[in-house]
Structure 1
Amino acid sequence: MPEHDALWRMLDANFPGLALPPAVARQLPALVPLRRLARGRSLFVQGQRTQAFYAVSAGEMEARFTGVDGRVSAIEHFGPPRLFGLAAFAAGLPSEYEAVACRPSEVLVIGHEAYRLMMDSAPGFARALLAEFARRFDVTLQLLQAARHEVAADRFSAALTQLARQRGRPTGEGWVEVAATQTELAQLAHVSRQTANELLAAAEATGRVRRGRGRWWWRPAGA
């Protein structure tokens, strides 16, 4: 079944080398359903205690944070085979962000029963999960350092690179087409739209960016 194929692809990508005992491999597919989301649909909201963690199987999800002043910031975009919602689920805490589908998407839902089965009966899964937590903690520290020390231009350059990697489509001669709005870019870089417009214009003047409606083209350094 397609959802079973999606499950095995996700496990291979996130936990390479993990060998499931035959009994676990037989039981697991029935415990990990595939959920489809329309564009703009929330999977869970900020402050919600989730009953599962998730993996993107198709499409793209966005993590959004709403501040006390009501301002909404895009924290991150993620596509297949990214795991998300893991920390809040494992710790039993409210989610720190809202997960929203950027376009029609599919996610694998890994609930308590599947989690217990993997933790208790799949040797190596707990170690692999701990390694994933460690990697994410390191990334979080790097992001905090960037937010504290990097200037707007550096954050903007990092946001350009991140969106190009996540949504980019090569179009020849070193250019990558990126379907993203200026607003999304500004939110990801934590700058105003005016600043984002100025920085895009500067990048365009150097030949690194070409702008279009609802998209832009990016050429990595050295391309």
Structure 2
Amino acid sequence: MLETPALQRVLDAHFPNVAMPADIAATIARRRLHDGRSLFVQGQRTQAFYAVVAGEIETRFTGADGTVSVIENVGPPRLFGLAAFAAGQPAEYEAVARGACEVLVFGREAYMRLMDEVPGFARALLAEFARRYDGTLRLLQAARHQGAAERFALALAQLVRERGRRDDAGWIEVTATQAELARLAHLSRQTVNELLQAARAEGRLRLGRGRLWIRC
């Protein structure tokens, strides 16, 4: 049976003010994955979109030359697989468990009922897509026209929008690795590390394993 608090955390993060009827919540499954297990593979037509509620999912794609590139390390309560599922297109990447993890599975029935029966869900979903699209455009613009510090700031801002959780002390916790931040900012890991250390020295940022805290 689905744990309601886990679902509520996902709704609060992505679809605030949207009430989830109990009968629709009952159609959303919770799936556990072992380390290294693929949730779906590149080129597969997915039957659901997902939200991480525990652990971490690595999204990655394999190029024509066999090179594997990590796109993102997805932690709670982040959604993923939305675009391919909503468009009915094959997935552009593979989703693999990094360590033991759990995801919520929003299948076709849940999606259709949420869209058709829950006031505000469709608008909230459109806003979620718009935020992601805007963040991607900003990073592409930064990669072409802006310096390292500006790219770094934009990448941090995108992560805060997508995953940030504010605590009582005024810090915003973000789950992200340096490699992921470097990819988002189109910078080397060495440059990102130097910028992170500078921000920490200034008291604007704290670092942890696979996560960071930003004072905004």
Give the TM-score normalised by structure 1: 0.70
Tell me the CA shift for residue 65 of structure 1: 2.4
Q: In the superposition, relative to structure 1, how do residues 33 and 147 fare at CA in structure 2: closer, same or farther (>3 Å)?
A: same
Amino acid at match of 1:61: I
Q: 1:73·1:187 contact (CA, 8 Å) conserved in 2?
A: no
Amino acid at match of 2:49: F
Equivalence for 2:143: 147
Counterparts of 1:140-219 in structure 2, within 5 Å, are 140-150=136-146, 196-197=189-190, 200=193
**Structure 1: runs of 5 or more not aligned:** 168-173, 209-214
Determine whether 1:11 maps to 2:11. Answer: yes
Tell me the CA shift for residue 55 of structure 1: 0.8
87, 104, 119: which one aligns with 2:100: 104
2:96 is paired with a residue whose SS is: strand
122, 129, 138: which one aligns with 2:134: 138
Q: In the superposition, relative to structure 1, how do residues 151 and 39 fare at CA in structure 2: closer, same or farther (>3 Å)?
A: farther
Determine whether 1:57 maps to 2:24. Answer: no
Q: 2:52·2:79 contact (CA, 8 Å) conserved in 1?
A: yes
Q: In the superposition, relative to structure 1, how do residues 143 and 73 fare at CA in structure 2: closer, same or farther (>3 Å)?
A: farther
Q: 1:3·1:33 contact (CA, 8 Å) conserved in 2?
A: no
Amino acid at match of 1:37: L
Amino acid at match of 1:88: A
Equivalence for 1:85: 81
Equivalence for 1:122: 118
Q: 1:164·1:218 contact (CA, 8 Å) conserved in 2?
A: no
Equivalence for 2:167: none
Identity among equivalent pairs (%)? 60
Structure 2: how far apart are the matches of 1:40 and 1:34?
18
83-92 or 137-146, which deviates more: 137-146
Tell me the CA shift for residue 69 of structure 1: 2.6
Determine whether 1:70 maps to 2:63. Answer: no
Aligned pairs, how many? 204
Q: 1:52·1:85 contact (CA, 8 Å) conserved in 2?
A: yes
Across the aligned residues of Structure 1 and Structure 2, the Cα RMSD in angstroms comes to: 3.9
1:144 is paired with a residue whose SS is: helix
Q: 2:143·2:185 contact (CA, 8 Å) conserved in 1?
A: no
2:90 is paired with a residue whose SS is: coil
Tell me the CA shift for residue 49 of structure 1: 0.8
Equivalence for 1:212: none
Tell me the CA shift for residue 123 of structure 1: 1.3
Tell me the CA shift for residue 127 of structure 1: 1.0
1:95 is paired with a residue whose SS is: coil
Counterparts of 1:15-34 in structure 2, within 5 Å, are 15-20=15-20, 25-34=21-30
Structure 1: how far apart are the matches of 2:210 and 2:117?
47
Q: In the superposition, relative to structure 1, how do residues 157 and 68 fare at CA in structure 2: closer, same or farther (>3 Å)?
A: farther
Q: 2:60·2:71 contact (CA, 8 Å) conserved in 1?
A: yes
Q: In the superposition, relative to structure 1, how do residues 143 and 185 fare at CA in structure 2: closer, same or farther (>3 Å)?
A: closer
Q: In the superposition, relative to structure 1, how do residues 15 and 36 fare at CA in structure 2: closer, same or farther (>3 Å)?
A: same
Tell me the CA shift for residue 17 of structure 1: 1.0
Structure 2: how far apart are the matches of 1:100 and 1:119?
28
